[in-house]
Each structure stands twice: as C-alpha cells, then as structure tokens.
Amino acid sequence: MITCNGNGSFDMLVIGVDKKMKALQRVPKEDVKALKVFVEERPDILDYTSLYVYHCASGSKVHTYLLVGLDNKPVQYATYEDFRVGRQILQAARKEKVRELALLIDTLEMDIPSLIDGLLYQNYEFIQYKTQASPNLVKNINLITASLQIKELNTLCYVYSSVYEGIYLARDLTNMPSNDLTPRKFADSVQELCKGENIHVESLNKWNLEKRHMGGIVAVGKGSMNPPQLVSVLYQGDPDSKDVLGLVGKGILYDSGGLSLKSHANLEFMKDDMAGAAVVLGVIRALMLLKYPVNVLAVMPLAENIPSGMSYRVDDVITMYNGKTVEVKNTDAEGRLVLADAVAYAQDKGATRIIDFATLTGACVTALGTVRSGMIGNDQEWMNRIFTMAERVHEKVWQFPADREYEKQLQSDIADLKNVGGPEAGAITAGLFIRQFIREGTPWIHFDIAGTAFLEKKDDLGYMGATGTGIKTVLEWLKGGQSS
C-alpha cells in the first residue's frame, strides 16, 4: 500500500542529502547531530544516485535512514533515472527487512510518478512454491510532504497501485509452472477475476473453436491432453462509443516446439510463452479498478504446444478463422497461428483497432536483447504516440520496419501463406504474418516481448522472472478516454 502523508510510523526513512543538508530540518531532532557529523565525514555519499543505509542510535532508540545523494545531478536527465532510483530504494528497504517505509519526498528532488513507479516495480516476489519462505515485501510506503498537494498525490498513488495490481497479476500468472496453469485453469481464472456490471466474459472450448473454424488454435493445441481454449473479456467503460481497443495476447501455456521440438536449453522457461495473454488480462484487471471511460476487448487464445500422435505436422495445411490457408513449415512457429485466429476474431467482435502482445520470436531477442520490446504496425502516427507513451512510463520499445518486400518470404507454393519466412528478419516476418489477418483500415500494432516479458537472470537491480511489460504503456494510452 502506498499513500501520501499516511501514518507517522516507519522502519526506514528516506531522505535526500547534499552539501546544504536542508533535509536535516525534517528528521527527528535527536538524530540531527549524528547525521550531520556522519555526512561530513563521508562526502562521497552526497553524489547523485548514491544510496547509503545509516543506522542512527539515539539513547535507547535506533532509527534507520536511507541517504540518497543529490549533488552533481545533471541539469538535463531522463526521468528513467528516477525510476531506477525508486527501484534501488525499495531494493535497499527489502534488504533491511523493512515493513514500513517513509520517504521525505520534498528532499529528494525527483519526478514523483517515476519514483512511485520504481518503488512498486521492485516491491514484488513470487514465493508461492517455497514451503519455508516468509514474505519479504514492504507492507506500507508513505510519501511525506509539506509542500505538495496531498489529494493529488494520493490520487497518483491510487492510479499506480491499480496499474500494479494488473502487473502483479500478469507476473503471478507468467511465473506459474505449466502443470498448475493449463488452458482450462487459465480460462477459469479469467472467469473468477473478471466480474462486474461492465465486464462480459466469453469462454470457448475446443468444440466451440472447431465449430467456428479456428484452425490455427485447434491445430496448435491438438497434441496436448489439455485442450485449447479462447477467452475474451469485454470491458465497457463507455457503452455509447463504438471505439473498441482490441488487445490480443498469445497464450501458449507451454511451448515444447511441438514436433519441431526445441533443444533442452530452449525448453527452459517456456512456461512464459503465455506472457502476452497475462499482459492483456492485467490491463483488464487494472481497468476494473481505474474505471477509465473506454471500451477494451481482451482476447486470449490458450493452448499447449506439445508433441504426440495427435500433433499437427510440418507440411500440414490448415484453414484459419478468416478462411485463409496456411502451410505449416515449422510447428515451433505456433504463436503467430493462434494470434492470427485471435486478431481476426477480435475484429469480428467489434475491435476498431488492435494491439497484440506475444513472446513471439527468438529473432527479436537476438536483435534487441532483454532491454527493448520489438514493435511493428500499419499506422505510423499511432506507433509514434505509443512509442512516446512507452518511454514516458519506462517501458522501452523499438520499431521494426514493415516493408512489403519482407512479406515475400511468407509466400507458399500450395497455400495462401506459410507460417515461417526464411532465416533472415525473423521478428519482422513473424509480425507481418499477423498483418495478413488485419482488415484494411484497421490500425494495428504488434509487440514482440520475447526478450522483455521474462528475465531469466537477475538484472542489475536484482530482479528476475516475469515483468508484466506492456501494461503501463496500454494504460497510459487509455488514460483520459483516448481509445482512438
């Protein structure tokens, strides 16, 4: 929980320090002298972004301070640095087993939204499967101010808390092992989570998918004993508007590659191949709290790509939901098949523009690593705005080109398309495959989050696992009712 000027108790107090030491006017009087002497003896801790934990003993009391250096701060700097400092503050607090964290934000000289963002980003753990572990999260975060508008700050705290409700949900789902999160269990979770007057849920089982001729989803899910599902959630925040943002998320609950089996090394962490579905569900969860006046349709195709005697094969030709035929040249290129059916279905359900999220290609990881998500689309003005918003909320993306020449790689000798291009530009051709199922005049953006959705190793601030990337960008776009 994060609030402004909440209760006065704290296990750790965060203050900004510089040569002028104005912050000492705000700390308990009994600690001022000791803090002043300590800082004078250690001028290095005054440097910009330096953090130091100081335990101050005054009589029988011991107060813990986190000193944040402010000196030599660049005149021009990106708010991403404040986001990083927020993460560092929370990381230091958790290391000290802090439950009540207070920050004298008037002393920190930081962009407050970025600070809040960083604090909440780092205040997460996934320990559901550790039988002996105890939670190590900061329970309450209190932003203390004497000069800023308290009501506005508390509103800001509520907005970010709601956003992170969605992000934490997406992280939890993505971190779950595949034996505990099958397509059916995911669909049941959606039914349980998405209840409200302006929420409508539709769940299609394998029989329904076959009846609707969703050949991509049915083919991918054929090999598993856990049949495929498709779940859609319509959030109607503005029933009078015909504008509907369609969010489509790849939901491969486990990806073995199918008959085009992955190597042992590439099988690890394939539980995260449903991160796209988790992201779009996370957006809906946040919207239920934020109540933005927008209409959003989240479509989640759910399947397991598992080899068996029932699996779809290389050289199969499948008929997709919109009637197009696809020649399968690699069963490990399954994500684009389920997404193709799902984006076509979203348009039939009324989506007037589409954003899809998918852990789609290793080629994107090769190109951009784990730093930026790939982006491709058919509406440059919209992509420019989304890029700006992503940067604003500290989710890094980069645009791939979408030249028609790349589409030649998808031409099939016997069908309308084949599901893979050549060895070149794999992230681009995968995105352009999905474009074949977007109707003329429908704005569309594809995010390849293969490198950013799940950190397989700890980053430089100690975080690993699912990130929930993409949720903040979409919500920033939707904020204020801007769905078109």
Annotated binding residues for Mn(2+), written as ranges, equal: 250, 255, 273, 332, 334
Return the amino acid letter for 181: L
With 0-12 / 13-18 / 19 or more C-beta atoms within 10 angstroms meaning exposed / middle / buried, residue 75 is: exposed
Residue indicated by tokens 């920050």 = 103
Q: Which of 171, 285, 336, 472 is catalytic?
A: 336
Return the amino acid letter for 94: R
Q: Rounded to whole angstroms, how far apart are CA atoms 100 and 107? A: 19
Given a contact cutoff of 8 angstroms between Cβ atoms, the answer to whether 222 and 307 are in contact is: no
Residue (of 4, 443, 484, 435) closest to 244 by Cα position: 484
Paired with 12 in beta bridges are 101
Q: Rounded to whole angstroms, how far apart are CA atoms 377 and 447? A: 9
Exposure class string for 31-68: b at 16+ Cβ within 10 A, else e: bbeebeebbeeeeebbebebebebebeeeeeebbbbbb
CA distances from 295 to 68, 176, 242, 318 (A): 42, 29, 8, 33
Given a contact cutoff of 8 angstroms between Cβ atoms, the answer to whether 106 and 74 are in contact is: no
Residues 22, 24, 25: CA angle, nearest 5 degrees:
75
Question: Strands 325-327 and 140-144, how do they pair?
Answer: unpaired
Helix (H, G, I), strand (E, B) or coil at 260: coil
Q: Rounded to whole angstroms, how far apart are CA atoms 280 and 170? A: 8
Q: How far apart are the first and last CA of the chain?
A: 33
Q: Which of 262, 349, 392, 396 is catalytic?
A: 262
Q: Rounded to whole angstroms, how far apart are CA atoms 33 and 252? A: 59
Paired with 246 in beta bridges are 297, 354
C-alpha torsion sign, points 398, 404, 405, 411? positive
Question: Strands 229-236 and 295-305, how do they pair?
Answer: antiparallel
DSSP state of 262: P
Half-sphere exposure of 126 (CA within 13 A, CB side): 17
Longest dimension (CA), the chain: 84
Residue indicated by tokens 């009994």 = 30
Q: Which residues are annotated as a binding site?
A: 250, 255, 273, 332, 334
With 0-12 / 13-18 / 19 or more C-beta atoms within 10 angstroms meaning exposed / middle / buried, residue 81 is: middle
In the residue annotation, 262 being an active-site residue is answered as: yes
Given a contact cutoff of 8 angstroms between Cβ atoms, the answer to whether 282 and 467 are in contact is: no
Q: Catalytic amino acids? A: 262, 336
